[in-house]
Amino acid sequence: MVTNVTSLSRNGLSDWMIQRISALVITAYVIIIVGFLVFCSEGTYVAWHQFMMSGPMRIFGVLATLAIAAHAWIGLWTIATDYIKPACIRFVFQWVCIAANVTYVLWAWRIFWSS
Amino acid sequence: MKDRRPTNIDLNSLRAYAFPLPAVTSILHRISGFALFLAIPFLLWLLDASLQSEVNFKEVVAFLDVGVVKFFLWLALCGLFYHVFAGVKHLLMDIGIGETLAGARLGSWIILGLSGFAALVLGVWLW
């Protein structure tokens, strides 16, 4: 089996599984937000704030961001190992991707739990 | 020792290949995924501002009404819907639906059709 130290779980099958479970979480989150915008939204700040900052949606928001970070990392890792051949450029690219994903998770945490 | 690692085709030589439809939708899945990654800071910033206060919320709504901004939002949402549809096709193929050559072609047409429809609906909704 080919293992790669920069893969998320160092295991292709686990990456495959994480990619799919995170995809389901993100899709569910997208469906809920689209459903709110289509069926429940009055287009006001109060309605939007109440909905997004309700307990379940705060938790779901952080969960979705974690899922996006893992999902994006696996996709970006695949793209990087497919197209970027020089190892040093690939590591820089991967480092930037990881830093960005960690920043987004912390940012989302601040959005949902700072107030 | 013989190297058993898989090899990739050189990107430049790809032009010599005829791309079947499932290959086109597959590379679009990849491109839309990367584009969505680039859109994350934009979307997080909108989310952040829209939840801060009523004034910020109204500013976000006004900002999204600017033509260029609205176009990029539309593009990002189209990318999101395409990526989700193509992803669902992947999940269906994982459980054995549409794995044949004909099935893959039909599946590709379906995700293109659904994405085109979604792009249209999003366009009507935004403008």
pLDDT at B101 over 80: yes
Question: Which of A37, A48, A111 to probe the B interface (max B CBs under 10 A)?
Answer: A111
Model pLDDT, residue A107: 97
Residue among A23, A52, A111 minimizing CB distance to B87: A23
Interface confidence (ipTM) of the complex: 0.90
Residues of chain A with pLDDT under 70: 1-5, 115
The two structure tokens encoding residue A98: 């990881």
Whether B10 has its CB under 8 Å from any CB of chain A: the answer is: no
The two structure tokens encoding residue B36: 């969505």
**DSSP calls for A9-34:** SS-HHHHHHHHHHHHHHHHHHHHHHH
Please list the alpha-helical segments (H only) found in chain A.
12-35, 45-52, 55-83, 87-113
Q: Which residue has the higher pLDDT, B2 or B47?
A: B47
Q: CA B20, CA B27: separation in Å to the nearest integer?
A: 11
- The predicted model scores a pTM of 0.90
Whether B38 has its CB under 8 Å from any CB of chain A: the answer is: no
Reported confidence tier of residue B118, pLDDT bands at 50, 70, 90: very high
For residue A78, which of A27, A21, A20, A12 has the smallest C-alpha distance?
Answer: A12
Q: By CB neighbour count within 10 A (0-12 exposed, 13-18 middle, 19+ buried), where does A64 fall? A: buried
Q: CA A37, CA B47: separation in Å to the nearest integer?
A: 14
Whether B30 has its CB under 8 Å from any CB of chain A: the answer is: yes
Partner-chain contact A27 B84, CB within 8 Å: yes
Query: Quick one: closest CA in A to B77, which residue?
Result: A30
For residue B82, which of A67, A29, A82, A30 has the smallest C-alpha distance?
Answer: A30
Question: Which of A16, A45, A106 to probe the B interface (max B CBs under 10 A)?
Answer: A45
Model pLDDT, residue A2: 55
With beta carbons less than 8 A apart as the criterion, state whether B14 and A77 touch. no
Angle between helices B21-52 and B101-126 (to 10 degrees): 30
